Amino acid sequence: MDAKLSMAHFFVAFSALALGGLMGLLQTLVRSGKWELPWGIDYYQILTVHGVLMGLVLTTFFIMGFQYAAVSRTTGGHSNAARRTGWVGFWVMLVGTLMAATMVLLKEASVLYTFYAPLKAHWIFYLGLTFVVVGSWVDGSAQIMTYARWRKNNPGKPSPLLSFMAVINTVLWIVATLGVAATVLFQLLPWSLGLVDTVDVLVSRTLFWYFGHPLVYFWLLPAYMCWYAIIPKVIGGKIFSDSLARLSFILFLLFSIPVGFHHQLTEPGIDPAWKFLQVILTFMVIIPSLMTAFSLFATFERYGRSKGATGLFGWFKVLPWNDARFTVPFIGMASFIPAGAGGIINASNQMDQVVHNTIWVTGHFHLTAATSVVLTFFGISYWLVPHLTGRKLTKAMNKLGIIQAWVWFIGMVFMSGAMHIQGLLGGPRRSAFSTYGGSKQAAEWIPYQIAQAVGGTILFLGIILVIIIFVNLAFFAPKGEQEFPVAEAENSEEQAPMVFENWKLWLGITAALILFAYTIPFIDIIQNAPLGSKGFQTWGKW
């Protein structure tokens, strides 16, 4: 019963991957200057389709499906009430997705991935996004219900690690999406319906980025769940420290939300002191990332030593490189090293001035979300899909999975690398091909845009391969039992402190940090607001 709901999420997620990936390929081809879109299709239309499908639909549906399965696996299964709740959430999300997608395809919502005001979409687009958010709350509440039932039946015991992590991520998502729900319900929907003539752009953007940065961690934490609690089992090792894993997730909950101003460092109307404060809080998120890196490589080294590896990096050689369940997420894991370094640059006030709103940011985004996160999701699907469908990961699909990961990595080296370099040369993001009137500087960007098209083509080949693998594992692989690997802590006597399960404490600190970081600057923004802006449909129907 639980498997059907998880697979329903995955079917939507991989459908979004196929269509959104095609739109990404078309974007890179247009930006190369060597190809034009046919049939009156507009560049900013496909940009919106790509961003919404890949950044919101693929990720949200996959994460909810994975977390639903993880909670079921580690708590003994969901109740009938939780299953019904999960299905309600799924259908509400799906209806919202179809509503928003329809408006984009009709050229009524070419507002880019960030749907920034004063770009204006049809009200059905905003209502659809509201359904996606509300549906995800309902979907996530099913996981919380099962976790709460386990806690009630096992008083005084720490919850299973994967379930704890899933609930932390769901709570982070619910708290973060309050911002985007507020701007859509109270600003963008009335504005698009014609109930009000203007919108306060700075309020809208501030509420969006209250949501926009923790969104990245909503994507990332399920990958961390795999790295912490599943990869050790896959390689035959154990979790370095259960308590360290829980603490890192709590720190992500505390410090990933009150940091949105570092996306608005060049935005007028926000006091620099509050920007500085949120930059400091942004750098606090580096701490759990470094804790994770330490824990993972400690796990790898201890496993290697147990296999007789010697020397500083001898353990590296004995890892199971021929197992797609390990290799694919490991490539994503390694990619997070340069991706994280780029994030530090973006969040630094002085260095952000160099790269802000350049295609460097897009390159960084594709290293984090489209490499570290998505490759880990692919690695998860290679064992979770056959586990849910009662099939086996065959040697052929395992080998194809490893090939797919390296194809993806090579494509991203070309595309993301070229984006980073072009960004340092001043190339803008969110823009179609242009010579800017024969500008000498713009001419310097074109070779990098061609390199992006090469990388995008290779990446689309990777998407074709992963869709082939997904369809095979869902429908055609031989029947059998595929393990859902869940690792144990190295010190079996270690019991995580129960303070980690004190939700009143952690939610209270989270709320206090958010109120401290946003209350006064938000009051200033509203009190000193300029006249609102009318809506623009720059790339909509003519």
Give the N- to C-terminal CA distance of the chain in Å, as an integer: 49
Inter-residue contact 64 to 9 (CB < 8 Å) = yes
pLDDT grade for 541, boundaries at 50, 70 and 90: low
Is 80 among the domain residues? Answer: yes
Q: The domain that contains 412 carries what CATH number?
A: 1.20.210.10
pLDDT tens-digit readout, 421-449:
999 999 999 889 999 999 999 999 999 99
User: Scanning the structure block, which residue is given the tokens 């997070």?
Assistant: 336
Query: What is the reported pTM?
Result: 0.96
pLDDT tens-digit readout, 293-323:
999 999 999 999 999 888 888 999 999 999 9
> What is the domain count for the chain?
1
Is 139 among the domain residues? Answer: yes
Backbone angles phi, psi at 397, to 5 degrees: -70, -35
d(Cα 232, Cα 485) in Å, to the nearest integer? 9
Q: Determine the average pLDDT of the residues in 234-240.
A: 94
Q: Determine the average pLDDT of the residues in 237-253.
A: 95
pLDDT tens-digit readout, 326-382:
999 999 999 999 999 999 999 998 899 999 999 999 999 999 999 999 999 999 999
pLDDT tens-digit readout, 477-499:
999 999 999 999 887 777 889 99
Is 163 among the domain residues? Answer: yes
Size of the chain in residues: 542
| pLDDT exceeds 60 at position 252 | yes
Is 378 among the domain residues? Answer: yes
pLDDT grade for 531, boundaries at 50, 70 and 90: confident
How far is CA 542 from each of CA 34, 198, 236, rounded to the nearest angstrom? 25, 21, 60
pLDDT tens-digit readout, 61-72:
999 999 999 999
d(Cα 2, Cα 90) in Å, to the nearest integer? 13
Partnered with residue 391 across adjacent β-strands are 479
pLDDT tens-digit readout, 121-176:
999 999 999 999 999 999 999 999 999 999 999 999 999 999 999 999 999 999 99
- What is the pLDDT, as a whole number, of residue 540? 55
| pLDDT exceeds 60 at position 542 | no
- What is the pLDDT, as a whole number, of residue 116? 82
Is 540 among the domain residues? Answer: no
Give 159's DSSP letter.
P
| pLDDT exceeds 90 at position 538 | no
Is 45 among the domain residues? Answer: yes
Q: Which of the two residues, 466 and 41, has the higher pLDDT score?
A: 466
Q: Which sequence positions are flagged as catalytic? A: 213, 217, 364-366, 429-430
Closest by Cα among 331, 255, 246, 324 to 292: 246
Is 491 among the domain residues? Answer: yes
Q: Determine the average pLDDT of the residues in 34-46.
A: 89
What is the domain extent for residue 343? 1-530
Q: 428 in helix, strand or coil?
A: strand
Is 275 among the domain residues? Answer: yes
d(Cα 284, Cα 259) in Å, to the nearest integer? 10
